């Protein structure tokens, strides 16, 4: 881990303001996985965002905007996020969203197959469209027209827009996690009490 988590007592004013915003948003949106140490220091991508609060605030605002779209059902969102996490091999992203996907009702065998970087054979037609789009976007280049059309037919113009922004957002999150070598919580050490 290249950026040590910042205990709340060590935050400057700008970091404290973002910390409070993140904690409130985490409580609403990101349950089911560890987001902070016992001392309150944030984990995952939240920590690098605190180290650079201007960037962190902008990324958080984008996260909230994409989360509020609502055109994609939870299972489709998680398929896209897991496919992106698998493409980037982002340990913390996969750790967090495996738990969220399970809580949102995605079958364990689908989760396991997606996180292994493969396409599950039993995806619903809508899940398959999302998986194919996320995989194509993460491979680079223009999203193929037939894949775009499948997602748009399933979820409408707002759905395809949400999916494209969602994949882009999580590609950035994964890059942040990998760039700063952010481990899963079990691999982090809490400071001595």
Cα separation, 89 vs 82, in Å, equals: 10
What structural domains and CATH numbers belong to the chain? 8-67 (no CATH), 74-178 (1.20.1290.10)
Cα separation, 120 vs 128, in Å, equals: 8
pLDDT of residue 186: 81
pLDDT(31) > 80? yes
Cα separation, 148 vs 24, in Å, equals: 35
Model-wide pTM > 0.95? no
Cα separation, 10 vs 105, in Å, equals: 39
DSSP structure string for 54-74: HHHHHHHHHHHHHHT---S-H
pLDDT(162) > 50? yes
pLDDT in tens, 37-63: 999 999 999 999 999 999 999 999 999
pLDDT(192) > 50? no
Cα separation, 157 vs 111, in Å, equals: 27
- 69-96 per-residue burial string, b: 16 or more CB within 10 A, e: under 16: eeebbebbbbbbbbbbbbbbebbbbbbb
pLDDT in tens, 57-86: 999 999 999 999 999 999 999 999 999 999
Which tokens is 141 given?
């280049």
pLDDT of residue 92: 97
Q: Which helix (H) or strand (E) holds 152?
A: helix 145-179
pLDDT(17) > 50? yes
First-to-last CA distance in the chain?
21
Which tokens is 16 given?
């404290």
């Amino acid at each position: 881990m290249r950026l040590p988590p910042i205990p709340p007592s060590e935050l400057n004013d700008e970091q404290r303001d973002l910390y409070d915003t993140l904690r409130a948003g985490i409580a609403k949106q990101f349950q089911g996985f560890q987001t902070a140490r016992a001392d309150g220091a944030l984990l995952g991508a939240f920590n690098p965002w605190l180290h650079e609060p201007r960037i962190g605030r902008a990324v958080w605002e984008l996260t909230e905007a994409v989360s509020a779209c609502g055109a994609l059902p939870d299972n489709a969102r998680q398929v896209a996020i897991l496919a992106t996490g698998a493409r980037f091999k982002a340990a913390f992203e996969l750790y967090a969203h495996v738990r969220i996907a399970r809580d949102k009702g995605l079958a364990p065998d689908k989760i396991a197959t997606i996180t292994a970087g493969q396409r599950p054979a039993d995806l619903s037609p809508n899940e398959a469209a999302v998986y194919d789009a996320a995989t194509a976007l993460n491979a680079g280049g223009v999203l193929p027209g037939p894949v775009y059309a499948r997602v748009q037919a399933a979820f409408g113009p707002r759905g395809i827009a949400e999916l494209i922004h969602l994949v882009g957002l999580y590609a950035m999150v994964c890059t942040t996690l990998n760039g700063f070598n952010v481990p899963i919580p079990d691999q982090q050490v809490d400071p001595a009490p």
